[in-house]
C-alpha cells in the first residue's frame, strides 16, 4: 500500500493479487473507459492509476479508502482463521534500508535482544568488541559513503584508562568526524541528569537497561524483547527519545504476531493461555491486568506496566497477583461479566469500583479498556488495560478483541476436554457392571 499526503493512492492486495483499479472496476465504482484513461494519464505523469482516477473525478477518495478497509478486514479474518501458512506485514516507512548499526554492548543477552529488534527494523547490524574496533569500522563506512549509527554501553573504560565514561567518549569521537551519525547510550545508571549528559556528548538519547534482578525467569524474554524494541524506536524516532513520557513500543509485524499467538492458543495448556493474552495486551496498553473469574470473584493472575515511581516495591503485578475482588453490582468488572461486552471509557470513582481503583493505584486513567474473555455465556477471565498517566488514547483494539475471543474459545475447549477426561476416568472406575 502506498500513501501520499496522508491518503491511500495505490495498493496491491497480496502477492500477485488484483490491483486496486481492477477491484474498483469489478465492483462498478469505475468504468473500463475511465480506468483506461487513468492508466494512460498515470503513464504520462508518473502517478498511480488510482491517483489519476481521483484527479479525473472518476472515483472519490472516500470510495478508495472504504474499499481498502474492506479488503484489509477480509484479509485479517482469513489470517486469524487460517490453519497454516505465513503472513508478514511491514511498515515500510519505519525501515532504514542499508543503514548499518554498530553495537558495542558487553552483556550478551542485551546485545542479542537489541540485534534482533534492529534487524527486524531493517538495519544491518555489526557487533564490535572494543571502542577501537568501532572507530575503525566507523571511519571505513564514512569513507565508503555508507550511513551508520552507534549503540553502545555507557560504562566503558575511557581512552585514558582512568575512568568509566568510555561510552560518552566514543560518541563524541564518532561525532567529531561523522557529525550526522546518531549515537544511543545504554546503561544501568539511573541518575536524573544522564539524559542531558548523553545529549551533550552528541547522543540522541540515553536508555536505562532493564533491571532483571527482581524478574521471574519466565518474564526475562518479554522484558528483553521490549527493551530491544525501545532501542529500535529511539533510533527510528530520535526526536521523541527521552522527550517526556516514552512512546508505546509496538511490534513491527503486528498482524504476524497476532496470527502466531492465535496458533499458540490451540497448542498451549490452560495455564499458559492467560500469559498469551497478557503478551498481546502489552502491544496495546502501557499497563494491564488479567483477572480469572471464579465463584463471583475476580482473581488477579498477573499484570504488566505501572508507574516508575510506584511506592510498592513489587509494582502493579505485586499488588494484583493473588488478590480476590468481589464482583460488586454496578462495578466495571461485574458489568463486563454480566454483559460479556467490551468496554472502553473512564472508570467512575464509585464505591463498587473502589477495590479495583485501590489496586491500580493513582492517578486514575482517563480511559481504560475492559475485555471479557468468554465463550458463549461463560466468562473465564477479564482483561483490564490502560495507558497509565500518559493519557494517550487507546486506539483501535479490534485485533486484541479478536484474540481475546479466540482465547475464550480455547479455554472452553480445554475445559470441555478436561471434563470429558474426568467422565471417562469415572466410567472406567465403575466398570461395565457397576
Q: Rounded to an integer, what distance in angstroms lies between the CA atom of residue 100 and that of residue 115?
A: 11
148 and 100 in contact (C-beta within 8 Å)?
A: yes
Q: Residue 197, exposed/middle/buried by CB under 10 A (0-12, 13-18, 19+)?
A: middle
Q: Which residues contact 319 (CB under 8 A, 6 or more apart)?
A: 303, 312, 359, 361
Q: Rounded to an integer, what distance in angstroms lies between the CA atom of residue 361 and that of residue 369?
A: 16
* Range 83-91 average pLDDT: 44
pLDDT digits (tens, 9 = 90+) for 10-49: 555 444 456 777 778 777 788 888 888 888 887 777 667 8
Q: What's 252's DSSP letter?
A: S
Nearest CA to 370 among 280, 283, 289, 297? 289
Whose cell is 477480509? That residue is: 74
Domain coordinates of the chain in residue numbers? 2-81, 92-236, 254-419
pLDDT: is 81 or 280 the higher one? 280
Architecture of domain 92-236: 3-Layer(aba) Sandwich (3.40)
Report CA 191 to chain centroid distance, whole Å: 28
- Report the first-to-last Cα separation within the chain, whole angstroms: 67
258 and 86 in contact (C-beta within 8 Å)?
A: no
The DSSP code sequence of 296-353 is TEEEEEEEE---TT-SSTTHHHHHHTT-EEE--TTSHHHHHHHH---EEE-----TTT
pLDDT digits (tens, 9 = 90+) for 367-420: 999 999 998 889 999 999 998 767 778 888 888 999 999 888 888 888 887 778
* Range 248-259 average pLDDT: 55
Q: Rounded to an integer, what distance in angstroms lies between the CA atom of residue 205 and that of residue 197?
A: 9
Lowest mean pLDDT among 92-101, 259-268, 361-370: 92-101
CATH match of 254-419 with 3.30.450.40: yes
Nearest CA to 152 among 171, 175, 176? 171
- pTM of the predicted structure, to 2 decimals: 0.45
Whose cell is 458489568? That residue is: 335
Q: Rounded to an integer, what distance in angstroms lies between the CA atom of residue 239 and that of residue 292?
A: 41
The DSSP code sequence of 162-180 is S-S-HHHHHHHHHHHH-TT
Q: Rounded to an integer, what distance in angstroms lies between the CA atom of residue 303 and that of residue 297?
A: 17
81-95, 247-261, 372-386: which is most confident: 372-386
* Range 74-97 average pLDDT: 44
Q: Rounded to an integer, what distance in angstroms lies between the CA atom of residue 72 and that of residue 11?
A: 11
* Range 88-114 average pLDDT: 69
Around Cβ 414, how many Cβ atoms within 10 Å?
A: 18
Q: Rounded to an integer, what distance in angstroms lies between the CA atom of residue 7 and that of residue 421?
A: 55
Amino acid at each position: 500500500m502506498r500513501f501520499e499526503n496522508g491518503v491511500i493512492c495505490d495498493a496491491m492486495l497480496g502477492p500477485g493479487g488484483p490491483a486496486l483499479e481492477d477491484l474498483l472496476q469489478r465492483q462498478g465504482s469505475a468504468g473500463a473507459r475511465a480506468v483506461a484513461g487513468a492508466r494512460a494519464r498515470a503513464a504520462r505523469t508518473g502517478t498511480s492509476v488510482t491517483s489519476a482516477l481521483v484527479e479525473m473525478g472518476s472515483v472519490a477518495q472516500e470510495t478508495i479508502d472504504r474499499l481498502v478497509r474492506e479488503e484489509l478486514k477480509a484479509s485479517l479474518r482469513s489470517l486469524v482463521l487460517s490453519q497454516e501458512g505465513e503472513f508478514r506485514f511491514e511498515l515500510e516507512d519505519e525501515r532504514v534500508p542499508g543503514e548499518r548499526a554498530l553495537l558495542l554492548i558487553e552483556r550478551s543477552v542485551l546485545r542479542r535482544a537489541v540485534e534482533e529488534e534492529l534487524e527486524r527494523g531493517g538495519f544491518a547490524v555489526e557487533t564490535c568488541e572494543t571502542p577501537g574496533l568501532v572507530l575503525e569500522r566507523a571511519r571505513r563506512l564514512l569513507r565508503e559513503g555508507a550511513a551508520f549509527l552507534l549503540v553502545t554501553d555507557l560504562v566503558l573504560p575511557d581512552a585514558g584508562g582512568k575512568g568509566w565514561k568510555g561510552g560518552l567518549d566514543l560518541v563524541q569521537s564518532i561525532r567529531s568526524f561523522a557529525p550526522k551519525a546518531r549515537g544511543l547510550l545504554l546503561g544501568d545508571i539511573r541518575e536524573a541528569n544522564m539524559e542531558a549528559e548523553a545529549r551533550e556528548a552528541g547522543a540522541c538519547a540515553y536508555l536505562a537497561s532493564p533491571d532483571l534482578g527482581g524478574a521471574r525467569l519466565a518474564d526475562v524474554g518479554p522484558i528483553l524483547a521490549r527493551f530491544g524494541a525501545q532501542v529500535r524506536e529511539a533510533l527510528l524516532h530520535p526526536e521523541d527519545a527521552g522527550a517526556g513520557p516514552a512512546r508505546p513500543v509496538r511490534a513491527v509485524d503486528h498482524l504476524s504476531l497476532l496470527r502466531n499467538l492465535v496458533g499458540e492458543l490451540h497448542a498451549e495448556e490452560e495455564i499458559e493461555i492467560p500469559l498469551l493474552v497478557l503478551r498481546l495486551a502489552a502491544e496495546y496498553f502501557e499497563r494491564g491486568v488479567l483477572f480469572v473469574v471464579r465463584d463471583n470473584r475476580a482473581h488477579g493472575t498477573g499484570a504488566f506496566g505501572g508507574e516508575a515511581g510506584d511506592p510498592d516495591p513489587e509494582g502493579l503485578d505485586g499488588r494484583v497477583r493473588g488478590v480476590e475482588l468481589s464482583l460488586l453490582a454496578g462495578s466495571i468488572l461485574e458489568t463486563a461479566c454480566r454483559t460479556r461486552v467490551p468496554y472502553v471509557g473512564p472508570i467512575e470513582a464509585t464505591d463498587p469500583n473502589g477495590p479495583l481503583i485501590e489496586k491500580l493505584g493513582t492517578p486514575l486513567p482517563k480511559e481504560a479498556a475492559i475485555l471479557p474473555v468468554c465463550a458463549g455465556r461463560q466468562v473465564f477471565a477479564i482483561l483490564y488495560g490502560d495507558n497509565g498517566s500518559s493519557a494517550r488514547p487507546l486506539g483501535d483494539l479490534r485485533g486484541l478483541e479478536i484474540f481475546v475471543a479466540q482465547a475464550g474459545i480455547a479455554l472452553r475447549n480445554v475445559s470441555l476436554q478436561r471434563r470429558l477426561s474426568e467422565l471417562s476416568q469415572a466410567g472406567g472406575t465403575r466398570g461395565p457392571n457397576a
